[in-house]
Chain A
Amino acid sequence: MRRRRMLTVSALTVAAALALSSCGGDGGDGDGAAAPAEIRGPITFAQGKDLSGELQKIIDGWNTAHANEKVKFLELPEAADEQRNSMVQNFQAKSDAYDVVATDVQWTAEFAARQWLEPLDEATFGGGDLLPAAVKTGKYDGKLYATPFNTNAAFLYYRKDLVPTPPATWAELTQACDSVAKTNKMGCYAGQFAQYEGLTVNASEVINSAGGELLKDSGKTVAVDTPEAREGLQFLVDGFEKGYIPKEAITFQEEESRRAFQQGQLLFLRNWPYVFGLANTKGPDSKIVGKFDIAPLPGKAGVGASTLGGYNLAVSSFSKNKATAKDFIKYMQSEESQQKVLTEMGFPPVLQSIYDDTALQGEFPYLKTLKEALLSAQARPASPNYNEVSLAIQTNAYAALQGQKSVDQAIKDMKAELERAAARN
């Protein structure tokens, strides 16, 4: 009797567990695809942490004009990976918690391929004054799924007191290394070389700047096995071998490289626009106030191709109030909002006209160079398996930079791993 009772309770416990779990499962909060696209109502906008504190003001502008369709700003963690995890968890659970999401330019293919994003109208969100390279990052398989909110491209920062004319090619750069950097006993060049997304950025940059390519056809064809790609990677490998990239640069992310440059340890630095203002701030942090300037990145035979960064806005397929979501995105792309993106939040805007405004150019001296860089920028390879792709690039580039693999072997292995990522469908 006792044993039977125990068995019953045990069975009930297990059954309860299973029942709870099945009332989990894919019931979810509605299957997003079925919800009609014309519904309006309050929405939630999920974005990584807003450092300036000004985003809420831009949103308030919308909220005052749309009392019944208020936008709630949900702050996600600062790190891009954490933001992505949060969005992925919500999409996988088919939850309608997030209506509008701020997605990194590299997440479009991934999210769109899994049908987590609502397609957007190209005429409204894909043309006009928007920067073409940025718009491209919102496309997957010919359709538009995300539209630019802010963007980013990198410069070559150089010490104008030591090198009056910035190098336009890699050959000129290494020349300056052999002469100027050596005499001044400083490191010559650094970018971001730790094994993380920043290395994918730097690696794809040098490969593109040498005329090579990584992936084609929305991530379906691998095009990295070329002499150009090898030349690109060789530029960085030579830097480590010959010593004009300091060996500690293998641990550099954006901040470490910025600090090294600001402390006068580097002649040239590859980094994003945010460094400009910080390096010019007087204080113990920067020994180079007024001594540096910016130029487009050098390439193998001419101007190099900076990698495109930035964030897009997209509508979740599981959102209930898609019409409001789309109108809100349009509002965030308006000239007024985009001006605030630059002046209040400090991010490069996505409307070309803003870069040509002379008043703003005075306030932000890097605007002209930035526009040049943006017009020749190339995005990292788009793929529904972007993380695998990025890992393939990072790990092999890192091994090559450390001398553990020859450049040839690194490219070959990169090709094999990229093919594997591309094959998954």
Chain B
Amino acid sequence: MATATAATTAETSAPPPAIRKQRRFTLPTVSLWAGIALISLYCLAPFYWMFVSSLKPSNAILNNELWPSSISFENYKSVFGEQNNFLYALRNSLIIASLATLLAMVVGVFAAYALARLQFRGKFLVLAAVLATAMFPGVAIVTPLFQLFSNLGWIDKYQSMIIPDISFTLPLAIWILTSFFAEMPWELEQAAKVDGCTPGKAFRLVILPLAAPGVFTTAILVFIYAWNEYLIASVMSQTQASAPVTVAIAKFTGDSQFQQPFGTQMAAGVVVTIPLVILVLLFQRRIVAGLTAGGVKG
């Protein structure tokens, strides 16, 4: 009995009904919790080290204590101190990543819809071409782009980073979205059309919500990519007016020219990860929400 309980997969997020309150320590349950523990350890242990290192004062940075004997916020102060202009960098990153995600999703959803739900010749060609653009080493693209944007006067402006970010994430976005849209059953659209919806509306109100897990996953991945992009940003931004956090972190310094500001970098890493974590916490509910939309049950 308990086996059936514990082994139910893809359950909705509602807490188990009252009758199933008694969980026995069966193998599936134990292995589930063991799995959770392992996963958390795997993902968070290095991050824990990062967090702990950010709290150590600079003269204690070398010791391997698992918890700092003296907690110091000097690294965080240094991150936000005037030397490093981090607040500007955060603002820039937010703008660049948000706009890039928004535009990439719109463009990507259009293209994926066409590829997954419409009939036309040359589909494979389009998919292949899109994929091919993801095969070139990024560094080869940087110099020509710099020259192009330099002549357009876009250096040190947001668009010089937003547009390349969109281009680099489109292949992944399109491939993921296409595969999700293609999985959707046809009858839904047909049923919607019978009910009087245009194809566009059918797509928006029926397919899109169902593909929500794929759509939001893609959005999160695009955002994270744009947030963490360094190569293009390092070349296109010159001052704090447009430099995102990745560039700002690269400019961190220690007290001397040879000192690697490990503590400050770790503090910056923690600070930079928090918005992403919040974003994911918000969006991960949506990944589940798609399932409870109940479209499949008709």
Contact = CB atoms under 8 A, between A and B. Distances in A.
**In the complex they form, do A and B come into direct contact, defined as C-beta atoms under 8 angstroms apart?**
yes
Interface of A: 20-21, 23-25, 27-28, 49, 51, 53, 74-79, 82, 85-86, 89, 92-93, 95, 97, 253-255, 258-259, 272, 274, 278, 283-285, 346
B259 interface: yes
Interface string B132-160: 00000000000110111011100100000
A258 B258 CA distance: 10
Given A24-B144, A93-B147, A284-B60, A253 B235 contact: no
A255 B260 contact: yes
Given A51-B255, A51-B257, A283 B238 contact: no
A80 to B, nearest CB: 9
17 contacts: A20-B148, A20-B152, A24-B148, A25-B147, A51-B253, A75-B251, A82-B250, A92-B143, A93-B150, A95-B150, A97-B238, A254-B258, A255-B259, A274-B258, A278-B255, A283-B59, A284-B59
Given A24-B148, A25-B147, A77-B251, A51 B59 contact: no
A79 B146 contact: no
Interface string B241-273: 000000100111111111110000000000000
B8 interface: no
A259 B256 contact: no
B59 A49 contact: no
- Give the size range of B's interface with the partner: 20 to 34
B250 A79 contact: yes
Interface of B: 58-60, 62, 83, 143-144, 146-148, 150-152, 155, 234-235, 238-239, 247, 250-260
A160 to B, nearest CB: 23
A78 B255 CA distance: 11
A259 B62 contact: yes
Contacts of B251: 49, 75-78
Most buried by B among A23, A49, A74, A86: A49
A27 B143 contact: no
A47 B235 CA distance: 16
Contacts of B252: 78
A364 to B, nearest CB: 15
A219 B147 CA distance: 30
A220 to B, nearest CB: 28
B258 A27 contact: no
Nearest to B70: A284
Given A74-B239, A254-B258, A284-B59, 14 more contacts: A21-B144, A24-B150, A51-B254, A51-B257, A77-B250, A77-B251, A79-B250, A82-B234, A92-B147, A93-B150, A95-B150, A97-B238, A278-B255, A285-B59
Contacts of A79: 250
Nearest to B240: A75
Contacts of A253: 258
A93 B160 CA distance: 16
B58 to A, nearest CB: 8
A305 B152 CA distance: 49
Most buried by B among A21, A79, A89: A89
B147 A24 contact: yes
A285 B256 CA distance: 15
Nearest to A23: B151
B152 to A, nearest CB: 8
A274 B254 CA distance: 12
Nearest to A263: B62
B216 to A, nearest CB: 31
A306 B251 CA distance: 29
Nearest to B83: A53
A93 B146 contact: yes
Contacts of B152: 20, 24
Contacts of A278: 255-256
A255 B256 CA distance: 10
Contacts of B239: 74
A89 B256 contact: no
A24 B256 contact: no
